[in-house]
């Protein structure tokens, strides 16, 4: 297969939603239809010991939520599918925002009963800013929920999207009989008896055929005919160019748990979704069809396998072919690096790959050389844009709860912070460690992982900080800066990269500091120098 054919057959996408909308269940069913697994794991049901494939961290299995993005790859109808299953919980939003820099398109999952929820709005806003093509899947139709047209209105109004239904439900909840596939002009009826294996649908091409009344009942048949007529009048026809430019969003209905509508979603998706797209670097636009390799690190995961203390950098290939044992330039360090065992992923299962193509996600064993946002090339000086970094919203002192294990604690903190789960600040005055996070739940995850992966115990103490501000003085010898450091010394710290940070206790303090020391600039992101 030629290089261009390899690019054309790849589909790299993320699945995003509010927690509990059924995102991880949908991922499981896509894997099931793709033949990548034989049986889907129940995400919440403790009676079934098989956990969801994409939730492979122990804490994810215990709590029934995703706390880290996982990467899954499989082949379906000769297309290479790369799924990035992201955490839905707002406390892990930073991981999700970073992951959105590595996808070419997105599936947005919405719960039929709850409709559009706040976290979905935030994530869709990020996708809209970047013009990422979005496809909407309205899930859980086997439960009682909102009217399908009301949901379409809500998606348009709350998310600011322009939608076109590609499938439509016949009934809902207890009356749910199946789905009419507008895209393929087929009728799929499902029996929800067996919830883990694929159930076959009856295909039906012509809605005016009286046989429809016999199959679904007269009332349901008449309702469906009226609804499809209304859709033709009200919603725009599907146009692939508009979808790819981010100005039109196809909508599918279904129930991931019971396999309703998932195959229709996957079949349409591989046909319409974009293959790997060009990506903007600070220097220029990089086309995926270029022959020279470029790629960037969008995620780092410590302890994929706790027994081996391995740390993996996830690299999205933007252009060219990534080859095992070939030398590449690590742009930030200015050094040539080779990789003897690059991995392709199936959740935590890894396989060594000899070559990877644009759109693929490659895992590289890392001893601490990589940071999120690092670029690899064949020699060109490039830096890819848009890896966001946020000022934390929660701050706590971290204390060592087991003095015999201080080495393990500091090693664990060091590695977990490199993943980007939180930020570590060391106070200038007394060397105490402060952890800053986007969400409070992160503290539990850090505590759990320190204990179970590093054998270290920690406790927390609250700290009243409003925001972390990165300090940029006009001149470090300036008297104003020297006075700023003397007056604010109790609130000054260094981040992991050694940059000076001012931990401000309120918005008022920030304003007063800026007016009193105008030559000292305060930034809410650490990337102001790049």
pLDDT digits (tens, 9 = 90+) for 98-139: 777 888 999 998 988 888 887 788 788 878 877 889 999 988
Are residue 110 and residue 259 in the same domain, yes or no? yes
pLDDT tens digit sequence for 482-523 = 999 999 999 999 988 788 999 999 999 999 999 999 999 988
Are residue 329 and residue 259 in the same domain, yes or no? no
Lowest mean pLDDT among 27-36, 251-260, 360-369, 456-465: 27-36
Are residue 340 and residue 431 in the same domain, yes or no? no
Decide if 148 contacts 252 (C-beta within 8 A): no
pTM over cut 0.75: no
Q: How far is CA 286 from CA 22, 290, 322, 324, in A?
A: 35, 8, 15, 22
Where does a domain end: 245, 272, 299? 272
Instruction: Examine the pLDDT at 325 and tell me if it is beyond 60.
Output: yes
> Percent of the chain, pLDDT > 70?
81
Where does a domain end: 351, 377, 403? 377
Instruction: Examine the pLDDT at 93 and tell me if it is beyond 70.
Output: no
Instruction: Examine the pLDDT at 347 and tell me if it is beyond 70.
Output: no
Q: What average pLDDT does this structure show over 273-301? A: 89
Tokens 């402060």 sit at which residue?
434
Are residue 373 and residue 398 in the same domain, yes or no? no
pLDDT tens digit sequence for 206-224 = 777 777 777 777 888 888 8
Helix (H) or strand (E) segment spanning residue 268: helix 262-272
pLDDT tens digit sequence for 229-272 = 888 889 999 999 999 998 999 999 888 887 778 888 888 888 99
Residue range(s) defining the domain that contains residue 30: 3-174+236-272
Round to whole Å and give the CA distance between 515 and 530.
25
Q: Domain tally for the chain?
A: 3
Instruction: Examine the pLDDT at 92 and tell me if it is beyond 70.
Output: no
Specify if 478 maps to a domain.
yes
Are residue 368 and residue 423 in the same domain, yes or no? no
Q: How far is CA 378 from CA 147, 160, 322, 323, in A?
A: 53, 41, 10, 11
Per-residue pLDDT, 65:
39
Per-residue pLDDT, 370:
84
pLDDT tens digit sequence for 146-198 = 888 999 999 999 988 999 999 888 877 777 777 888 888 877 776 655 444 44
Q: What is the mean pLDDT of the chain?
A: 80
Residues forming a β-bridge with 502: 469, 492
Per-residue pLDDT, 511:
92
Tell me the pLDDT band of 46, cut-offs 50, 70 and 90: very low
């Amino acid at each position: 297969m030629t290089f261009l054919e390899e690019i054309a057959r790849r589909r790299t996408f993320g699945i995003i939603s509010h927690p509990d909308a059924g995102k991880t269940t949908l991922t499981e069913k896509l894997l099931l239809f793709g033949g990548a697994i034989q049986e889907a794991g129940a995400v919440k049901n403790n009676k079934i010991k098989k956990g969801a494939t994409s939730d492979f961290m122990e804490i994810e299995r215990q709590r029934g939520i995703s706390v880290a993005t996982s990467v899954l790859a499989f082949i379906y109808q000769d297309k290479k599918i790369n799924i990035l299953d992201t955490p839905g919980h707002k406390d892990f939003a930073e991981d999700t925002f970073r992951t959105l820099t590595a996808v070419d398109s997105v599936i947005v999952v919405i719960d039929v009963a709850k409709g559009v929820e706040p976290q979905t709005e935030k994530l869709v806003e990020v996708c809209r800013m970047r013009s990422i093509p979005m496809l909407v899947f309205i899930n859980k139709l086997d439960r009682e929920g909102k009217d399908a047209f009301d949901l379409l209105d809500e998606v348009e109004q709350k998310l600011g999207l322009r939608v076109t239904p590609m499938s439509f439900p016949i009934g809902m909840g207890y009356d749910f009989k199946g789905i009419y596939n507008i895209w393929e002009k087929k009728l799929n009826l499902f029996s929800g008896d067996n919830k883990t294996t694929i159930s076959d649908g009856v295909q039906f091409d012509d809605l005016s055929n009286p046989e429809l009344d016999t199959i679904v009942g007269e009332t349901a048949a008449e309702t469906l005919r009226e609804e499809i007529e209304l859709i033709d009048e009200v919603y725009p026809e599907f146009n692939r160019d508009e979808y790819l430019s981010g100005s039109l969003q196809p909508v599918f209905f279904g129930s991931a748990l019971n396999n309703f509508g998932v195959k229709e979603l996957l079949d349409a998706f591989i046909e319409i979704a974009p293959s790997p797209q060009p990506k903007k670097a600070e220097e220029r636009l990089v086309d995926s069809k270029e022959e020279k390799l470029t790629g960037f690190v969008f995620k780092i995961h410590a302890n994929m396998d706790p027994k081996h203390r391995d740390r993996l950098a996830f690299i999205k290939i933007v252009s060219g072919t990534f080859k095992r044992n070939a030398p590449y330039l690590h742009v930030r360090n200015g050094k040539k690096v080779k990789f003897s065992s690059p991995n392709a992923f199936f959740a935590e299962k890894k396989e060594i790959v000899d070559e990877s193509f644009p759109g693929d996600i490659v895992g590289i064993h890392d001893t601490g050389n990589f940071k999120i946002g690092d670029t690899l090339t064949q020699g060109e000086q490039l830096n890819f844009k848009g890896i966001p970094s946020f000022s934390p919203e929660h701050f706590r002192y971290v204390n060592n709860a087991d003095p015999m294990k201080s080495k393990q604690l500091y090693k664990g903190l060091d590695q977990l912070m490199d993943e980007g789960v939180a930020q570590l600040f060391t106070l200038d005055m007394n060397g105490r460690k402060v952890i800053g996070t986007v969400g409070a739940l992160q503290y539990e995850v850090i505590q759990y992982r320190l204990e179970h992966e590093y054998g270290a115990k920690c406790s927390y103490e609250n700290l009243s900080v409003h925001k972390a501000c990165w300090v940029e003085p006009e001149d470090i010898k300036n008297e104003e800066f020297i006075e700023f450091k003397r007056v604010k010394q109790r609130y000054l710290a260094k981040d992991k990269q050694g940059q000076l940070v001012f931990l401000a206790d309120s918005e008022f303090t920030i304003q007063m500091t800026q007016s009193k020391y105008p030559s000292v600039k305060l930034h809410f992101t650490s990337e102001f120098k790049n």
